[in-house]
Structure 1
Amino acid sequence: MSATMKKIDVDVHNALKSPRDIYPYFPQPWKSQGAGLPTSGYPSPIDFKRENSIPPSGGPAASDADYIVQHLIEPNDIEFAIMTGHYFDVSALVDPDHAAAIASAYNDYMANDWLPKHASFRGTIVVATQDPFQAVREIDRMAERSSMAAVVLSTAQPGLLGQRRFHPIYEAAARHGLPIAIHPGADGGGGTYPPTPSGYPTHFMEYHLRTSQSFLGHMISLVCEGVPEKFPNLKFAMLGGGVSWVPHLLWRLDKNYKALRSTVPWLKRFPSEYIRDHFLFSANPLEEAYDPQNMLDLFNMIDAENVLLYSSDYPNRDDGTATNLLNRLSPEARKKIVYDNAKKLYRL
């Protein structure tokens, strides 16, 4: 894909040099409790970060805004970069008040100390879903900042995201015209449920491969609990979970809806119609088929040019498959995926 094609990158994982970066925005008693987040308990045996993503000044990968501009934004002609960061896992904490304080401090840090560093940077509002009322207050507080483009949630949650306790969060996002971005997180960590429907896997490889299961569970919940019907203007961006599972979900939901629609009487259309109208998916990382044509066939099944979003997943090193496949699409389809779809979704 030509680097000169203007792009919107919907998934850039900027990092803090230290959790203490957000301490100036912490009230007591939370400052003394720190800003650590739960982990999945499955440490990776390999480093997924690009070797050249470490700033020359030192610190974690993607922790230097100027270096991100030099290394990612300018060489790839990225007009807007949506910063998803790492703090979306705050919803896995057990203490709802501590979690809400971390989310608020992080959002203030992003809005005041990070996003102003480059015109391309846009933020995502982190909320702690344990207490939806505090989450709504945080969305209302941050949504009027023009630098904030979405609300971001982790797949690591205290419940399935379609459940009614989360609906006030969706109402607030819809009221402000903000999409909901959902990203794989530390499922199984903190106060969340096991990372698979059958329990805890043994190895990191098993854990890493279960990402699509988390997306399946949350999307089925969102659709069957009637979130798209209740909030017709709300959109969801499913980031970092691949797309090969999407046709299976569309087909199976519609098949079962024919016989079981009486159990979800609030749905007025086939589930697949809600998904096509309300959900978009990042084009990176993608699955790798032995035959690239299989992936192109998959793209046809999901109407890729209208539902895919360009993402680098920076600083992770897994964008080769997406780039190679997008190069095989028509210029019109590529433009939709790398720019138009995100511009409309995030109202940039």
Structure 2
Amino acid sequence: MRIFDCDRHVMEPLFIWEKYLDNQVYQQYPVHFKHHFEAQVDLPPTYYIGEIPILKHWNRDIQLETALRPQNSTARKLAMSGLGQLQSMDQDCVEKALIFPTFTGYIVNHKQVPEQVSLAYAQAYNRWILDYCMVDKNRLIPAAMVSRHNTSTLAKQVELIAKQGFKVITIRPEPINGYHLGESVYFEFWAACQKFNINIAFHGGTHLHGDTIGADRFDTRFSLHACSHVLEAQVVFLSLLEGNVFELYPQLKFIFLEAGAAWLPYWLWRLDNICYPEFPALVKDKLPKKPSAYFKNSCYVSFEVGEPCLDEVVNWIGNDKLLFGSDFPHPDHQGFNTNALTQEQSLSSQDVERTLLQNPLECFGWPHE
């Protein structure tokens, strides 16, 4: 099989910030570790930016469980460099990969980080990831980061990102600084992305210092992780619908990652059959088409290995809108292997093969090879 992995991550070494970040920002807000030691247990370090913890609800129970569980230290080390990433891809039979940050998103989107610091870290990451992927630009495709702390800067950020050669921007699905993605303050951003033909990849995560669903009522890893990816994916799709974004910017492509795909049939069915026809006069100007039609036109979604109901997903959005992402090297997805992709899947073998190469090539507008 030829595999295009649409969700593969780096592990950002600490030294990159001193090299790629503006020196004044680095002196005021350096990223660093604080180590914690207990009798017979070496707890994992806590990340800080300046004096601010980078992860929310990263408590002792999670640290202890992380220290005691089997480690994937080899995979994390490989993800620190482009050469290591390629080595890991060869081991997993991955031909191409879309490359995402791990910790940078928690810095750039942190609600306590000042606007100029958020922007500086986003742009420093973009400079570094381009160098990271330089080892093989045909196989390693980087996703750029933007700072959403000041939405008036977004169009300029996109212009620079386009000049740097990026084709994908990754953003979190949550509201940042009080604005959700369907609000009019983002219209210039969407217009710039459409102008420069840049795709948008939604990638959530647990432990953001922000307004992630569930963070206001839970503090356990179990519940936070249950909410952070899938529920945010559903709500950001609704936000874009409510904001008329799909109708106003029909050439944009939106990619939903690490939330699975089985949520789609129920969500689209409910939006189409319960919410959309309830008060037609209230939605006819914003949504001349049903919600499912906008997903089929503008969106792609990645599936999980072994996920149920994918045949029903295909019934709703077609077999050309499914992608695969391994989430390497993160510990909640350590079971990835090529055999698992073709065994016990709720998809036909032909559909599985299509998701692994043809669909991502079409999504990103690259010719078939």
TM-score class, shorter-chain normalisation, is 0.7 to 0.9
Q: Pick from 295, 299, 303: which aligns with 2:309?
A: 295
Q: Which moved more, 1:251-260 or 1:24-33?
A: 24-33
Deviating 4+ runs (over 6 angstroms): 47-50
What amino acid maps onto 1:101 in structure 2? A
Report the counterpart of residue 126 of structure 2 in structure 1.
107
Alpha-carbon shift at residue 29 of structure 1 (Å)? 2.9
Report the counterpart of residue 145 of structure 1 in structure 2.
164
Report the counterpart of residue 214 of structure 2 in structure 1.
196
Q: What is the TM-score when the length of structure 2 is the normalising length? A: 0.80
Alignment of 1:73-84 (within 5 A): 74-84=90-100
Report the counterpart of residue 41 of structure 1 in structure 2.
57
* SS of aligned partner of 2:279: helix
Report the counterpart of residue 233 of structure 2 in structure 1.
215
1:241 aligns with 2:271: no
Alignment of 1:219-298 (within 5 A): 219-255=237-273, 256-264=275-283, 265-284=285-304, 287=307, 294-298=308-312
Q: Which moved more, 1:154-163 or 1:114-123?
A: 154-163
What amino acid maps onto 1:319 in structure 2? F
What amino acid maps onto 1:123 in structure 2? P
The question of whether the paired residues in 2 share the 8 Å contact of 1:12 and 1:312 is answered with: yes
Q: Pick from 12, 17, 31: which aligns with 1:16?
A: 12
Change (3 A) 1:251 1:47: farther
- Give the whole-Å Cα distance in 2 for the aligned partners of 1:318 and 1:302: 28
Q: What is the TM-score when the length of structure 1 is the normalising length? A: 0.84
- Give the whole-Å Cα distance in 2 for the aligned partners of 1:143 and 1:83: 17
Report the counterpart of residue 134 of structure 1 in structure 2.
153
- Give the whole-Å Cα distance in 2 for the aligned partners of 1:322 and 1:163: 38
1:205 aligns with 2:205: no
1:126-166 deviation per Cα after TM superposition (whole angstroms, max 9, x unaligned) = 001121232222221121334x2301001343232222222
Q: Pick from 161, 169, 182: which aligns with 1:162?
A: 182
1:118 aligns with 2:136: yes
- Give the whole-Å Cα distance in 2 for the aligned partners of 1:296 and 1:130: 36
1:62-112 deviation per Cα after TM superposition (whole angstroms, max 9, x unaligned) = 21322221222x24443321111122331233322110111011101111x
Alpha-carbon shift at residue 232 of structure 1 (Å)? 0.6
* SS of aligned partner of 2:170: strand
Alpha-carbon shift at residue 341 of structure 1 (Å)? 1.3
What amino acid maps onto 1:206 in structure 2? S
- The higher relative CO (CA closer than 8 Å, separation ≥ 6) is in 1
Change (3 A) 1:252 1:296: closer
Report the counterpart of residue 311 of structure 1 in structure 2.
325
Change (3 A) 1:88 1:171: farther
Change (3 A) 1:21 1:286: farther
* SS of aligned partner of 1:181: strand
Structure 2: 5+ residue stretches without partners: 32-48
* SS of aligned partner of 1:246: helix
The structure richer in strand per residue is: 2
Larger-Rg structure:
2
Q: Pick from 116, 137, 144: which aligns with 1:97?
A: 116
Change (3 A) 1:314 1:47: farther
Change (3 A) 1:39 1:9: same
Q: Which moved more, 1:166-175 or 1:176-185?
A: 166-175
